[in-house]
Amino acid sequence: EKVTVSLIKADVGGIPGHSTVHPKLKEKASECLQEAKENGLLVDYRVLHVGDDLQLLMSHRRGIDSEEIHKLAWETFEAATKIAKELKLHGAGQDLLSDAFSGNIKGMGPGIAEMEFTERGSETLVAFMMDKTEPGSFNFPIYKIFADPFNTAGLIIDPLLIDGFIFEVWNIKDRKRIFLKCPEDLYLFLSLIGAKSKYVIKRIFPKDSSPLPKDEPVAVVSTEKLFFIAEKYVGKDDPVALVRAQSGLPALGEVLEPFSVPYLVSGWMRGSHAGPLMPVSFKDAQCTRFDGPPRVIAAGFQISHGNFIGPIDLFDDPAFDLARKKALELADYIRVLGPFEPHRLPPEEMEYTTLPGVLEKLETRFEELE
Ligand code: 13P
Ligand code: 13P
Ligand code: MG
Ligand code: MG
Ligand code: MG
């Protein structure tokens, strides 16, 4: 029995500023998705949010890139935008960069992580959602989960994991992709994905030795870059990921373990600063200090005949208190640098922010050196 899980998200307005989502937008989204469930288009759905991003988690039987599902998501965001405009929320319709839907939501502004797979006897799934950062922020944890034996004990002690996984990596600037196998390509893999603004892990696949179907992904990450669509700064590309766990895959605890360290990501204030990624509960999924710090939530499910059993709010747990405390200490430390790198992002990344408009004003005041 194959199921498709589609996690599609967009910022259609924040209250106040870019901090969080108004409950009325979530209510409207639930209404739209409930109707689609009653009409048989969706098997199930959940509406969530992190920061100012509205998250539509949907299960269905239409496969990935389904026009009907993408249209449903687009129209749901449009309906929520209408309310955001009435309430004059900040940046109403921010991530909807196109006027009309034309068959696929890709390239229109929203972020998408979707995969079709055969539902196992027990199907554990974690949906990760980040705000105030970019798709490359998943490189570090996804590497740790699927390729680092110091994180994932199963890579050493589980016969089903010992052969490793296949990684689909995208060069999002030049629009190319490469498949790398780990452990054999591990160093090549790291040489690419450490450059997280250019190379982004898109999907993970099982190897030939795995009993899982080889063409069905076990994890997928959204890779949409708003700047490449809008050609100007219109907010950050706050990413999402879906990760399957257990029974031939990393255990739930191995999937969550990388977030015990608040590693540094790009984004935060005006999409222009490096800062620690703080794992938080759903109730703390709002961005405040310096529009952050960047946050991640984790919604845990068992899938039963396409239905979402959950969510469990996985970071709502004292086990992640120390990560949060460290994140705050790191935030204090790096904020001291203000406009100086490496708090401010390097020039290549600042090109996607509002800084070029400032540099343009200086153009005529530069004098040539001998
Ligand atoms: P339980 O005995 O609690 O099911 O734990 C199994 C396990 O392998 C945890 O990592
Ligand atoms: P969002 O992408 O979350 O709207 O953030 C935009 C921003 O510039 C925050 O300072
Ligand atoms: Mg916003
Ligand atoms: Mg956002
Ligand atoms: Mg954004």
302 pLDDT band, cuts 50/70/90, is very high
pLDDT at residue 344 in the model: 98
Ligand nearest to the CA of 270: 2
- CA 75, CA 82: separation in Å to the nearest integer? 11
Mean pLDDT in residue range 273-301: 98
- CA 322, CA 234: separation in Å to the nearest integer? 33
136 Cα: distance to centroid of ligand 3 (angstroms)? 19
- CA 367, CA 168: separation in Å to the nearest integer? 46
Per-residue pLDDT tens over the stretch 69-110? 999 999 999 999 999 999 999 999 999 999 899 999 999 999
Report all structural domains of the chain as residue ranges with CATH numbers, in order of start. Answer: 1-118 (3.30.70), 119-359 (no CATH)
Long-range contacts of 178-187 (CB under 8 A, 24+ apart): 181/207, 182/146, 182/147, 183/147, 186/147
Query: 246 with 136: CB under 8 angstroms?
Result: no
Per-residue pLDDT tens over the stretch 226-261? 988 999 999 999 999 999 999 999 999 999 999 999
Which residues, 6 or more positions from 125, have their beta carbon under 8 angstroms from its beta carbon? 5, 242, 243, 244, 245, 300, 301, 302, 303
- C-alpha closest to that of 20 among 129, 136, 141: 129
- CA 235, CA 273: separation in Å to the nearest integer? 13
Q: How many other C-beta atoms are found inside a 10 Å radius of the C-beta of residue 303?
A: 22
What was the ipTM of the complex prediction? 0.93
Ligand nearest to the CA of 224: 5
**11 given a catalytic annotation:** yes
Angle between helices 186-193 and 139-147 (to 10 degrees): 170
**317 given a catalytic annotation:** no
Query: 307 with 326: CB under 8 angstroms?
Result: no
Structure tokens at 126: 């974690």
Q: Which residues pair with 243 in a beta bridge?
A: 126, 219
207 pLDDT band, cuts 50/70/90, is very high
Residues flanking ion ligand 3, Cβ below 5 Å: 11, 14, 18, 52, 91, 235
270 CA closest ligand 2 atom index: 8
Which residues, 6 or more positions from 41, have their beta carbon under 8 angstroms from its beta carbon? 60, 62, 68, 69, 72
Query: 229 with 107: CB under 8 angstroms?
Result: yes
18 Cα: distance to centroid of ligand 2 (angstroms)? 6
Question: Which of 31-40, 47-56, 221-230, 242-251 has the least mean pLDDT?
Answer: 221-230
Which residue's C-alpha comes closest to atom 9 of ligand 2?
A: 270
Mean pLDDT in residue range 188-210: 97
User: In percent, how much of the chain has pLDDT > 70?
Assistant: 100
3-state secondary structure of 245: strand
pLDDT at residue 73 in the model: 98
The answer, yes or no, to whether any atom of ligand 2 lies below 6 A from the CB of 11, is yes
Which residues, 6 or more positions from 187, have their beta carbon under 8 angstroms from its beta carbon? none
pLDDT at residue 331 in the model: 98
Give the chain's length.
Answer: 370
Probe target for ligand 2 pocket from 236, 237, 238, 287, with the most ligand atoms within 8 Å of CB: 236
pLDDT at residue 189 in the model: 98
Which residue's C-alpha comes closest to atom 3 of ligand 2?
A: 132
Ligand nearest to the CA of 158: 1
109 Cα: distance to centroid of ligand 1 (angstroms)? 41
330 Cα: distance to centroid of ligand 4 (angstroms)? 21
What does the CA dihedral 80, 81, 87, 92 come to, rounded to 10 degrees? 140
pLDDT at residue 223 in the model: 94
Per-residue pLDDT tens over the stretch 140-178? 999 999 999 999 999 999 999 999 999 999 999 999 999
Q: What global pTM score does this model have? A: 0.98
- CA 290, CA 273: separation in Å to the nearest integer? 10
Which residue's C-alpha comes closest to atom 4 of ligand 2?
A: 235
Residue linked to tokens 């700064």:
233
- C-alpha closest to that of 277 among 329, 327, 345: 327
- CA 111, CA 124: separation in Å to the nearest integer? 22
Question: Catalytic: which of 132, 225, 236, 237?
Answer: 236
- C-alpha closest to that of 252 among 110, 147, 90, 127: 127
Q: Which residues pair with 126 in a beta bridge?
A: 243, 300
pLDDT at residue 31 in the model: 98
Question: Catalytic: which of 45, 143, 233, 352?
Answer: 233
Average pLDDT in the chain: 97
The answer, yes or no, to whether any atom of ligand 2 lies below 6 A from the CB of 238, is yes
The answer, yes or no, to whether any atom of ligand 2 lies below 6 A from the CB of 22, is no
Mean pLDDT in residue range 56-61: 99
**284 given a catalytic annotation:** no
Query: 198 with 189: CB under 8 angstroms?
Result: no
Query: 73 with 55: CB under 8 angstroms?
Result: no
